[in-house]
Every structure is written in C-alpha cells, then in structure tokens.
Amino acid sequence: MALVPAAGQGVRLAAGMPKAFVPLLGRPLLWHCVRSLQASGCIDVVVVAVGEQHREQARAAVAEAGDQVWIVTGGAHRCDSVRAALLTVPDAEVVLVHDAARCLTPISVIQAVVQAVLAGQRAVVPVLTVVDTIKQVDPDGRVVSTLDRAALRVVQTPQGFAGDLLRQAHQQPSGPVTDDAGLVEALGVPVTTLPGHPDAFKITTPFDLVLAEVLAGARAAGAG
C-alpha cells in the first residue's frame, strides 16, 4: 500500500501547473512516480492525493496504471493530504508514503523500505549523509552555530510504516511537520534509517527539473 501526496501547488517550480502534472520526458511526474511504485512489485494499491479540481487530470495521468490506483482529494498541507489518503486504507498493515516529486526514486529503495517494515521496523526512512557544512542562522542571517554534519542526514521518501503506527501518528494534533516520520517521532516511537539514493531527490526548482530530464533521459537510453 502506498500513499502519494501530490496536492502541492509547485510554487517553487513555477511551471504554471501543480508539480505532479509537470511533464518529464513527456509524462507527468505523477505517472513516473506511480509507475516506479508498481514496478517495485511490492505495492498493491497506490492512493494519490491531489487538489479537488485536479482529480480528473490525475485519473487521466495514471489511467494506464489500472484500477489499483485510487485518487482522493488532498488537503491544505502535506500532512492533510497524507491523512486523507490514509483514511481510504484503514486496514493496511504496511504503508509507504512517497512524494510525487521524488518520482525518480530507484525501485531498489522502494523495495528496501518495504522489506524493512516487513522485517519488523515500524518506521523507516531512506537517508543520505550531508556533504555541505550546515549552519544555523538567526532571522537576520547571522550565524548562530555550525552543526556537526556527521550527525545529520537528508531524509527522502518513500517512508515506510506499520499501518497502525502511521494511523496513530496522524491522529495526534500536529504543528508544521514536513514528513510523516516527524509525527512518529512526536509519539516517542523510534524511527530507523536505511540508505537512500541521490536519484530520489525532490524535484522542487527549475534546476531540479533540468537534472531530472537528464537523468530520466539517460535511464531511457540505457533501457532502450
């Protein structure tokens, strides 16, 4: 079971349409995302959350993926969209949450996350080490401190959860969380990590889209 929050506006991408529908090699990002989830061979149903006015567009984008892709209406924030999707799969034992914007995530990462949850990890996130030096700054941009990058990780999706834990996490009142593992952390439940992949970057800016076109083009050439 995978939930795909895709109801963002894509303001930073400035493509004039919600990010999920921006084309990559002529297909919407959402199409690529759903295809890789299905190609992993370990996801039965994919629930996609989009804005109410984009439900038909989403249905058309994933039409060839078959009837195991469900479209629901998302919410104002990412966690509202995930919650809406989660409500449609009340009995799922393993649930992945995967950003539509990370549509080039390798299948091996999706499989590894599912395997980790099946093996007993109740909350799993793919991560990368941090290559840049990270500084904390005050509202005026003055440096407050330099963080120890050896202890930092960049967090990606899909994030994998035991279904009951994710439902419990989404029932608590939450502030501005940017991922689902954050809600689990707030419950005091351990979240474990496994290796992510550079290709799982979140397409956010026009630069990212250029990068994604190059990457997807290279993959298509390699496959063909």
* Residues of the shown chain interacting with ligand C5P in the complex, contacts defined by CB under 6 A: 5-8, 19-20, 49, 74-78, 81, 99-101, 178, 202, 204
By beta-carbon proximity to ligand C5P, the closer residue of 8 and 163 is: 8
Q: Closest by alpha carbon to 153, among 183, 127, 124, 125?
A: 127
Q: How far is the CB of 48 from ligand C5P (least distance, A)?
A: 9
By beta-carbon proximity to ligand C5P, the closer residue of 75 and 106 is: 75
By beta-carbon proximity to ligand C5P, the closer residue of 51 and 163 is: 51
Q: Closest by alpha carbon to 184, among 206, 163, 168?
A: 168
Please, what is the Cα angle at 17 between 80 and 85, to 5 degrees?
25
Cα distances from 133 to residues 128, 130, 138, in angstroms, run 14, 8, 17
Q: How far is the CB of 102 from ligand C5P (least distance, A)?
A: 8
Rg of the chain over all Cα atoms, to the nearest angstrom: 17
Q: How far is the CB of 35 from ligand C5P (least distance, A)?
A: 15
How many alpha carbons lie under 13 Å from residue 56 in its C-beta half-sphere?
1
Q: How far is the CB of 79 from ligand C5P (least distance, A)?
A: 8
By beta-carbon proximity to ligand C5P, the closer residue of 78 and 122 is: 78
